[in-house]
Amino acid sequence: MIVEILKRIPATYCQFFWLTLKLKNMKRQLCTLMFLLAIIPALYAQTANDWVKSALQKIDNKDYLGAIDDCNKALQVDPRYSSAFIDRGLAKHNLGHYDDAIIDFNQAISIDSRSATAYYDRGISKYHLDRNDEAIADYDQAIVLDPKYVNAYYNRAIVKNHLSRYADAIGDYDMAITLDPKYEFAWCNRGQVKVNWGHDADAITDLDQAVILDPRDELAYYNRGNAKRHLSRYAEAISDYDMAISIDAKYANAYFNRALSKYNLKRYDEAITDYDQVVALDAKYVNGYYNRALTKYYLGRYADAIADYDMAITLDPKYEFAWCNRGQAKINLGRYADAITDLDQSIILDPKDEFAYYNRGDAIYYLGRYADAIPDFDKALAINPKYSFAYYGRGLARQNLGNYADAIADFGQVISLNPKYTYAYFNRGLAKHNLGNYAEAITDLDMVISLDPKNKDAFNNRGLAKNKLERYAEAITDLDQAIALDPKYTIAYNNRGYAYYKLGNTKENYRKAIADYDMAVQLGGSTYKPAWTYRGDAVVAMDKATGQ
């Protein structure tokens, strides 16, 4: 209908009408444009900086996914906002996504190559990926851009310490402390580096300052305890570990090192209690089991020690010391074949462990395989020519094979390395006795008795050597002492009886010879076979003797 009407209207009027319609349409478009312009500020009411501030707050609250979302929104507003890349990288780092974090830090650096923060944060992520040299390079650049960047020095020191570059690490901590004398972590960590470097006294000075700055820093007490322990100040070390544990009752390392200190003070049961706590807190703490086993072994609790070595080996099948020490514990229980199996494995894991060869040689020796034991003692000595126990073990094996001259040489090596090793003198004396060198044997036994005045075997053997030299009165004196030390010492009675018999001359000496022989037989039992069967001769001689 409208079209029809329009056809009847004059042309000029129609043009005016169309113009009116066009104007109305333009007004509608203008209104739409004005509406869009009005809502755009509403859509982007938060700036990129606002989103970044929100992201940082979420990072502080450990809402890392929320922080990433906020940084994404910031980048929608401003795709070249470097702070958004830095903070998104920080959130990803805290999620353990170090490679992704580095990509964001790279992007931030490409936008702003003078951002010290971006280099610093990238250095931290690279450190966590064990890209240590690259991390140091990033910290270097952060410091070039900002020579007063305290945390850059601090974190560069951490990496250098990790690389055992202790002097360089201390130099960086020095700078951090110079820039911020109240930077407690720097004092604490510098002290820790000095402990690692063996500068324990200097470390204590740093850690004293750390404790002053923060009396609740358990790590400072722990590190100071370590320094004092290294200086053999065990009681003081224990006090520091006590403080660390009072602050953090779940500090497994503090219990562990406190146990080490108690062990050194011979407080073995307390040490075991601490090791118990270590493995209760961390069931996979391998050294907790290992060191508890060492303590139990020292107390003669070999079966319990083996159980702990079992756990250590289960957790770390390549723990060579555990294999070696378990083998040693089995030797003490007489489980020689089992011990050899452990020591075989120990040697496979470390063919240069002289203790493993020595212990295996020891186990083979106890099986009576003296010749087979010698090559293991040889290998132990090839690795460590000053290993006195290996000389001693080889000497015993040679002595049992009747190779007394070589045994004497080995025992001599032991004595040169350890002049107070009683058993070396004793066995050298025995070997000399077996070669008929009785006077030299007596000299060695003199040394044994001077070192160990209650060694009954030394008195007996010296008495025996004096019998061989027909020094019977002196022999009786030695054998009196042996019997005084052990009134049930069968062999000593037999040897003294022989001395009385050979001394002879009087009925009293023969009576004493017969009495000693009878006592030896009585103590020795039905299976005892006296070395000298002189009783009958003593009875006959007593009847002929004129003196009382």
Q: Tokens 């090839």 — which residue? A: 382
Q: Are 55 and 88 in contact (CB under 8 A)?
A: yes
CATH assignment, 471-548: 1.25.40
How far apart CA 514 and CA 241 sit, in angstroms, is 66
Residue in this structure with the two tokens 């609790």, named with its chain if needed: 301
Count other C-beta atoms under 10 Å from residue 302's C-beta: 20
What's the length of the chain? 548
- Cβ neighbour number for residue 233 with a 10 Å cutoff: 17
Name the amino acid, one letter, at 170: I
Q: Computed from CA positions of residues 35, 40, 46, 51, in that sequence, does the dihedral angle turn out positive or negative? A: positive
First-to-last C-alpha distance (Å) of the chain: 171
For residue 415, give the nearest of 379, 385, 391 by alpha carbon.
391
By CB atoms closer than 10 A (0-12, 13-18, 19+), residue 263 is buried
Per-residue pLDDT of the chain (548 residues; tens, 9 = 90+): 222 222 222 333 223 222 232 333 434 443 443 333 344 444 446 999 999 999 999 999 999 999 999 999 999 999 999 999 999 999 999 999 999 999 999 999 999 999 999 999 999 999 999 999 999 999 999 999 999 999 999 999 999 999 999 999 999 999 999 999 999 999 999 999 999 999 999 999 999 999 999 999 999 999 999 999 999 999 999 999 999 999 999 999 999 999 999 999 999 999 999 999 999 999 999 999 999 999 999 999 999 999 999 999 999 999 999 999 999 999 999 999 999 999 999 999 999 999 999 999 999 999 999 999 999 999 999 999 999 999 999 999 999 999 999 999 999 999 999 999 999 999 999 999 999 999 999 999 999 999 999 999 999 999 999 999 999 999 999 999 999 999 999 999 999 999 999 999 899 999 999 999 999 999 999 888 888 889 999 899 888 877 67
Question: What is the reported pLDDT for 531?
Answer: 83
Is residue 95 a contact partner of residue 64, using CB atoms and an 8 Å limit?
A: yes
> What distance in Å separates the CA atoms of residue 34 and residue 32, rounded to the nearest whole number?
5
Give the pLDDT score at 526.
84
pLDDT at position 5: 24
Q: Is the pTM of this model over 0.85?
A: no
Q: Please check whether residue 500 is in contact with residue 524, taking contact to mean a CB–CB distance below 8 angstroms.
A: no
Whether 143 and 155 have beta carbons less than 8 Å apart is answered as: no
- Residue 383, token pair as written in the block: 């690795």
8 Å CB contact between 431 and 411: yes
What does DSSP assign to residue 402? T
Which residues, other chains included, contact 294 with Cβ-Cβ below 8 Å and sequence gap of 6+?
263, 305, 325
Instruction: Supply the pLDDT for residue 532.
Output: 82
Q: 90 vs 63, 125, 234, 464, CA distance in Å?
A: 12, 9, 43, 84
Under DSSP, is residue 547 helix (H, G, I), strand (E, B) or coil? strand
- Please give the torsion angle defined by the CA atoms of residues 146, 151, 153 and 158, in that order, rounded to the nearest 10 degrees: -150
Q: What is the pLDDT of residue 247?
A: 98
Distance CA 308, CA 291 (A): 9
Tokens of 318: 């390549």
Backbone angles phi, psi at 46, to 5 degrees: -90, 130
Task: Return the pLDDT at 45.
Answer: 64
Residue 547, pLDDT score? 67
pLDDT score of 1: 25
| Residue 125 host element (H or E) | helix 116-128
| CA quadruple 305, 310, 315, 318: dihedral sign | positive
Q: How many CA atoms lie within 13 A of 491 on its CB side?
A: 11
Q: Among residues 487, 509, 488, 484, which one has the least CA distance to residue 499?
A: 509
What DSSP string describes 154-211?
Answer: HHHHHHHHHTT-HHHHHHHHHHHHHH-TT-HHHHHHHHHHHHHHT-HHHHHHHHHHHH
The long-range contacts involving 323-327, CB below 8 angstroms and separated by at least 24 positions, are 323/349, 323/356, 324/353, 324/355, 324/356, 324/359, 325/290, 325/293, 325/294, 325/297, 326/293, 327/356, 327/359, 327/360, 327/363
Contact 256, 229 (CB under 8 A): no
Helix (H) or strand (E) holding 490: helix 490-503
